[in-house]
Amino acid sequence: MTQEAYVTQSIKDGIGYIEFFHPAHNSLPGTILSKLAQMITDAGENEQINVIVLKSGGDRTFCAGASFNELININDEATGKVFFSGFANVINAMRKCPKFIIGRVQGKTVGGGVGLASATDYCMATKYAAIKLSELNIGIGPFVVGPAVERKLGLSAMSQIAIDANSFYSAEWAKNKGLFTQVFDTTEDLDEAVNAFAKKLCDYNPEAMKAMKAMFWNGTEHWDKLLAERAAVSGTLVLSEFTKETLKRFK
């Protein structure tokens, strides 16, 4: 029996665990993106939560990026912009959240998933967490997630993986470029480290962490407008004949 998609939150000892899942390799349709953005915003306002852990369900894939089923059914620019704005809204919710967000990346992550990992404040992974920006393969580009990825990896590394859209880059490569802070051999080791680190953060002054987060994200105040503009670009490109035909082949 196929498990249903979900977004859940649990709180334990001041740590808010936000988990998303989709049976298609944790791909992200608009409904999941909307719930994720709202849940992150709500967690940021919840006084019971001192630090947030963002994770996904399943063993080997953190996030496969945009939902192909939704992409192939986009037939006008307005719908396209709304869909890609889903990723923009999640990234902006993470950016504006006054609490540190720890990323727990247990496996491969593609496209929009790389954007989510990049928008966390501190990200740990397993050795299976290879990354790929595959958007150029289907005739679009990592326009919405690009600012978040560039902020973490730098322009050179971001452009490398965006242009080389067919290749997965190893977790060690991502660590060396600054996306991951630590890489573990097993998911069990990853979870132990994530939980221990989150507990440690809960002992720190919440006001100090809030001020530090604002400092780290200084200079991104224009992202509401920027990512909306980027969503419009992707929403137009997804209607191109090239992209439509490519999506049909992938399907």
Confidence band for 247, pLDDT divided at 50, 70 and 90: confident
**Comparing C-alpha atoms, which of 6, 117, 10, 138 is closest to residue 63?**
117
Residue range 76-116, pLDDT digits in tens? 999 999 999 999 999 999 999 999 999 999 999 999 999 99
The predicted pLDDT at position 249 comes to: 81
**Could you tell me what percent of the chain has a pLDDT over 90?**
92
**Comparing C-alpha atoms, which of 239, 45, 229 is closest to residue 143?**
229
The predicted pLDDT at position 100 comes to: 98
User: Rounded CA gap, 122 and 181, in Å?
Assistant: 7
Q: Would the pLDDT of 2 be above 70?
A: no
The predicted pLDDT at position 60 comes to: 87
The predicted pLDDT at position 248 comes to: 81
Q: Would the pLDDT of 128 be above 90?
A: yes
Q: What DSSP element (H or E) covers 183?
A: strand 182-184
**Comparing C-alpha atoms, which of 13, 210, 31 is closest to residue 21?**
31
The predicted pLDDT at position 51 comes to: 98
Select the more confidently predicted residue: 180 or 246. 180
Written as six digits, the tokens of 195 are: 């939980």
State the helix-helix crossing angle for 155-163 and 146-153, rounded to 10 degrees: 130
Residue range 144-187, pLDDT digits in tens? 999 999 999 999 999 999 999 999 999 999 999 999 999 999 99
Rounded to 10 degrees, the C-alpha dihedral 29/30/32/37 comes to: 140
Global pTM? 0.96
Residue range 189-244, pLDDT digits in tens? 999 999 999 999 999 999 999 999 999 999 999 999 999 999 999 999 999 999 98
> Domains in the chain, start-ordered, CATH in brackets?
6-202 (3.90.226.10)
